């Protein structure tokens, strides 16, 4: 059975592993290899420990477990990190391990986080997605519409990102 639950501090190493593995398997050829190679489970674990310590204040981090109780995906969301009057909430990370993609982990993580953001009273939801991300249509299937574009530098290479938005934070029953 697929389980969605709040992330705990002890989940940081597993979240870091999913984070690094999905970036390496999904973004090769999009993000410079030197950047991908510089990502390690150790440095990502440190980042996730710091983020999870903020869990519950502003940040929502949820994990998805497979039927064996292994963390195979995660989502992190909270208040918008940039200025845009249309949106108050943002998904900052949503990753599912390669062997578990297209098995409802991502969709259920999105829905659970959106529900929690809506309960907090935040209006409008936003997410940045790499334009060349092969899974970017996931957000369109959930009702997101392209609303912004930006170019960011990863290891000196300009990479285009698309912002998807929802006028209201979706609620799911």
> Which DSSP string corresponds to 141-164?
HTT-EEEEEEEEEETTEEEEEEEE
Work out the end-to-end distance of the chain between its first and last CA atoms, rounded to an integer number of angstroms: 19
60 has pLDDT over 90: yes
Q: Which helix (H) or strand (E) holds 21?
A: helix 12-27
What value does the mean pLDDT take over residues 20-28? 93
173 has pLDDT over 70: no
What value does the mean pLDDT take over residues 94-123? 92
Among the ranges given (1-5, 89-93, 147-151, 164-168), the one the predictor scored with the smallest mean pLDDT: 1-5
Q: Is 49 exposed, middle or buried (0-12, 13-18, 19+ CB in 10 A)?
A: middle
pTM: 0.93
What structural domains and CATH numbers belong to the chain?
A: 3-166 (3.40.630.30)
Quick one: pLDDT at residue 57? 67
């Amino acid at each position: 059975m697929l389980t969605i639950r709040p992330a705990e501090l002890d989940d940081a190493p597993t979240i870091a592993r999913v984070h690094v593995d999905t970036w390496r398997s999904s973004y090769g050829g999009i993000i410079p290899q030197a950047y991908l190679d510089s990502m390690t489970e150790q440095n990502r674990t440190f980042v996730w420990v710091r983020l999870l310590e903020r869990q519950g204040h502003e940040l929502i981090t949820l994990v998805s477990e497979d039927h064996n109780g292994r963390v195979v995906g995660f989502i992190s969301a909270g208040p918008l990190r940039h200025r845009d009057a249309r949106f108050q909430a943002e998904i900052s990370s949503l990753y599912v391990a390669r062997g578990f993609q297209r098995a409802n982990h991502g969709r259920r993580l999105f829905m659970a986080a959106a529900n929690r953001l809506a309960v907090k009273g935040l209006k409008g939801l936003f997410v940045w997605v790499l334009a060349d991300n092969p899974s970017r249509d996931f957000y369109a299937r959930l009702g997101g519409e392209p609303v912004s574009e930006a170019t960011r530098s990863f290891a000196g290479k300009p990479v285009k990102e698309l912002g998807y938005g929802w006028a209201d934070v979706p609620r799911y029953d």
